[in-house]
């Protein structure tokens, strides 16, 4: 998992870093409201599997961060705090938190709760994600891995299907290369890696072979990644 932790307490962050029980997870830390803004308001938000937010930050309110994230994302969010009442906890759930933990934290419990939330979200997303959608005048069927217009069809590889599926789930939004690599290739993006660019080129060629206008909906976002513009179904 890739997890963003927003907390201004160096001791808490160090404890989480040292005691995290799953070596394969990637933890990223932000120590203030202002430092977190570039992560939660930009395309990089899609890279994280879960976010941990301290309610009380030196330059802002953790609830404001929660509200900002919920405007664009359903990523699992766990709120943490050194104090609070049942009413306080209920308030965070009303705003959109998925869980709430009091400090001092059990790092093992935090990891277990995050893992449960991520698993539940993945199951829900798979059940809800459409397998058939349109890209302009082209029908994309992820179940059969085919692009179709009228009686003409072009096959898709599994990876091409994952790329288009992820872009469609985020239609109209810029998707960073980091997020696409993670969802389509199951690995981290390394600066300079052109693998995704090659796949996008192939997808554009396949779309263009069926409809020269619809291919324009698969767009490059300079300096960030790619996006699939929304189109009428």
pLDDT tens figures, 168-207: 988 888 999 988 988 888 777 888 888 899 999 999 999 9
Look at residue 49 and tell me whether its pLDDT is greater than 80: yes
CA angle 28, 179, 197 (to 5 degrees): 135
The pLDDT, as a whole number, for residue 38 is: 85
- Written as six digits, the tokens of 233 are 């179904």
20 near 43, Cβ under 8 Å?
no
Token pair 């997303």 in the structure block, residue: 125
- Region 5-18: what's the mean pLDDT? 95
The 10s digit of each residue's pLDDT in 99-138 is: 999 889 899 999 999 999 888 877 666 555 568 999 999 9
pTM equals 0.60
> Which residues make beta-bridge pairs with 99?
78
Burial class (CB in 10 A: 0-12, 13-18, 19+), 131: exposed
The Cα 89–Cα 190 span in angstroms is: 39
Q: What percent of the chain has pLDDT over 70?
A: 95
């Amino acid at each position: 998992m890739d997890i963003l932790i927003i907390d201004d307490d160096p001791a808490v962050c160090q404890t989480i870093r040292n005691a995290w029980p799953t070596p394969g997870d990637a933890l990223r830390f932000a120590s203030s409201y202002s430092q977190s803004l570039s992560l939660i308001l930009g395309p990089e938000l899609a890279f994280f599997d879960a976010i941990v937010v301290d309610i009380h930050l030196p330059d802002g309110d953790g609830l404001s961060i929660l509200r900002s994230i919920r405007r664009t994302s359903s990523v699992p969010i766990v709120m943490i705090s050194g104090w609070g009442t049942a009413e306080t906890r209920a308030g965070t759930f009303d705003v959109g938190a998925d869980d709430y933990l009091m400090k001092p934290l059990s790092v093992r419990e935090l990891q277990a709760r995050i893992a449960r939330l991520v698993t539940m979200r993945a199951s829900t997303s798979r059940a809800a994600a459409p397998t058939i959608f349109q890209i302009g005048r082209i029908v994309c069927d992820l179940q059969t891995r085919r692009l179709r217009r009228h009686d003409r069809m072009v096959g898709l590889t599994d990876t091409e299907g994952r790329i288009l599926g992820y872009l469609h789930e985020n239609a109209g939004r810029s998707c960073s290369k980091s997020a696409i690599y993670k969802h389509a290739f199951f690995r981290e993006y390394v600066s300079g890696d052109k693998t995704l660019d090659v796949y996008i080129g192939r997808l554009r060629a396949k779309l263009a072979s069926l409809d020269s206008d619809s291919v324009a909906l698969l767009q490059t976002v300079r300096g960030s990644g790619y996006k699939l513009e929304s189109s009428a179904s």
